[in-house]
Structure 1
Amino acid sequence: MTDLTDDGDDRDEQALEDDDPVNDVTDTPDIASVLSPAAPDGAAPDGAGTSDDDAEAVSGGDIVITEDELLGGSADDYEDVDEEPVRESPYDRPGSWYVVHTYAGYENKVKSNLESRINSMDMEDRIFECVIPMEDVIEFKSGKKVVVPKKVFPGYLLVRCDLDDDSWRVVRNTPGVTGFVGAGSKPTPLTRTDVETFLGVKEEGPETTKRTRPRLEYEVGESVRVREGPFADFSGQIAEINEDQLKLKVLVNIFGRETPVELEFSQVAKL
């Protein structure tokens, strides 16, 4: 008779070892295993054949998502994206912009005097910049069209500084300066819109608009509104009309003072 006792004990011990919780550990899958195709349970080892039924079962299984699809695109997609250049606004530079009134016709001399005082008095850390706003104006000379740089508003400078008693004194006591522009005795800093308008911050790209020859329908003393350019939306009164060059001289109220501004007919509109 065959003794089955030992075999039964061996099977019981083997079952206990299989059910041992210490040896029963489940590994947590990493992202690589989640994002890559996993072999199904009971998959055949390398080199083993796969039946037609098994192949059909695999092809009809869960959809495999790649890492690129999960992240919404590939690295090549991001490399091809061109970043648009960011244009600096003069308003974002350190300090604030103030308007300084000077004698008309002496703007360049006053600017030179002020810059010399800034250097000699070691004020570069509080007075940063002095600018005469300019614009290109088309004129006709000897029957030819020429571009001439002109001051946007004569008799004024723009100064960028950290204004305190010392910096105010350096600017105010510069020969040719008659004062700051502001309410009462307190200088008023310019807004972002004013700074970007007077210093000519423009959109990049070729000019696509063309001006048409306007009709001669304006009169001296007539009030008009500026349609485009540095003084867009300002109102003023026509002081002179140049019919040959199709230009007007308009008195525009700038910082509380009437300033003559030369404009083309197409740059103004009737009120």
Structure 2
Amino acid sequence: MKWYVVHTYSGQEGKVKQHLEAVVEKNGLKEQFGKVLLPMREVTTVQKGKKTVRDRKFFPSYLLVEMEMNKDTMHCVTDIPGVTHFVGVDNKPQPLRKAEVDRILGQGTPEVQETGVVEIPFHSGDKVRIKDGPFKDFDGTVEEINPEKGKLKVMVSVFGRSTPVELDFTQVDAV
């Protein structure tokens, strides 16, 4: 069996996955189908000063399907509501390479694997208000962003002079 990529309508990935699994079960096609995956990743966001961890689709609008490709199995997948097509060339589905599948499934080399992603609601040059710490209620401008540490360097005016202050993402709000 090989892995293929199926394109779905946006937001329909979960329904298509459930429907495909039900069709495979109902029609006794387990020998021709393996796993149906909707790859997800953890994303940490900072909203209103609180960190939240959510699962997000790694490839929105796409599913990975392990299957034996033939006309019957291809039509079994493409006939499901919400499926637009298989990813391929000239209307021919192209299987994924082993290295691509390993990377997506998290079995690739450590340099290639992705860890959780931190979504940063700030950009360099943004105006922010400090809401915690010794500079509480001061306004400043984001100078640098360090996503690995979850820190910002904010330039704050103290006695008429710009002073750099290092803060956590949770210590500031966008103005």
**Match in the other structure for 2:122:** 243
**Match in the other structure for 2:138:** none
CA distance in structure 1 between the partners assigned to 2:88 and 2:57 by the alignment: 21
**Could you tell me how far 1:228 is from its partner in structure 2?**
7.3
CA distance in structure 1 between the partners assigned to 2:113 and 2:107 by the alignment: 14
CA distance in structure 1 between the partners assigned to 2:6 and 2:105 by the alignment: 15
CA distance in structure 2 between the partners assigned to 1:183 and 1:124 by the alignment: 27
- Given the alignment of the two structures, is residue 229 of structure 1 paired with residue 75 of structure 2, yes or no? no
- Seen in structure 2, the aligned counterparts of structure 1 residues 170 and 146 have a Cα distance that, compared at 3 Å, is same
Instruction: Name the one with the larger helix percent.
Output: 1
**Match in the other structure for 2:61:** 155
Instruction: Name the one with the larger strand percent.
Output: 2
**Match in the other structure for 2:48:** 142
**Match in the other structure for 2:84:** 178
**Match in the other structure for 1:113:** 19
Q: Give the gaps of 5 or more residues in structure 2.
A: 124-144, 149-175
**Could you tell me how far 1:141 is from its partner in structure 2?**
2.9
**Match in the other structure for 1:30:** none
CA distance in structure 1 between the partners assigned to 2:8 and 2:74 by the alignment: 15
Q: Residues 56-205 of structure 1 correspond to what in structure 2 (within 5 A)? A: 95-201=1-107
Q: TM-score, normalised by structure 2?
A: 0.62
CA distance in structure 2 between the partners assigned to 1:228 and 1:162 by the alignment: 27
What letter matches 2:22 in structure 1? S
- Seen in structure 2, the aligned counterparts of structure 1 residues 99 and 265 have a Cα distance that, compared at 3 Å, is farther
- Seen in structure 2, the aligned counterparts of structure 1 residues 159 and 266 have a Cα distance that, compared at 3 Å, is same
Contact 2:106 2:113 in 1 (8 A): no
What letter matches 2:26 in structure 1? S
**Could you tell me how far 1:143 is from its partner in structure 2?**
1.1
Matched pairs, number:
123
SS of the equivalent of 1:196 reads helix
CA distance in structure 2 between the partners assigned to 1:122 and 1:130 by the alignment: 15
What letter matches 1:104 in structure 2? S
CA distance in structure 2 between the partners assigned to 1:170 and 1:142 by the alignment: 46
Structure 1 moving runs of 4+ over 6 Å: none
Higher relative contact order (CA 8 A, sep 6+): 2
Q: TM-score, normalised by structure 1?
A: 0.41
CA distance in structure 2 between the partners assigned to 1:160 and 1:148 by the alignment: 26
CA distance in structure 1 between the partners assigned to 2:113 and 2:33 by the alignment: 32
**Match in the other structure for 1:14:** none
SS of the equivalent of 2:15 reads helix
- Seen in structure 2, the aligned counterparts of structure 1 residues 181 and 203 have a Cα distance that, compared at 3 Å, is closer
CA distance in structure 1 between the partners assigned to 2:146 and 2:113 by the alignment: 11
- Seen in structure 2, the aligned counterparts of structure 1 residues 265 and 101 have a Cα distance that, compared at 3 Å, is farther
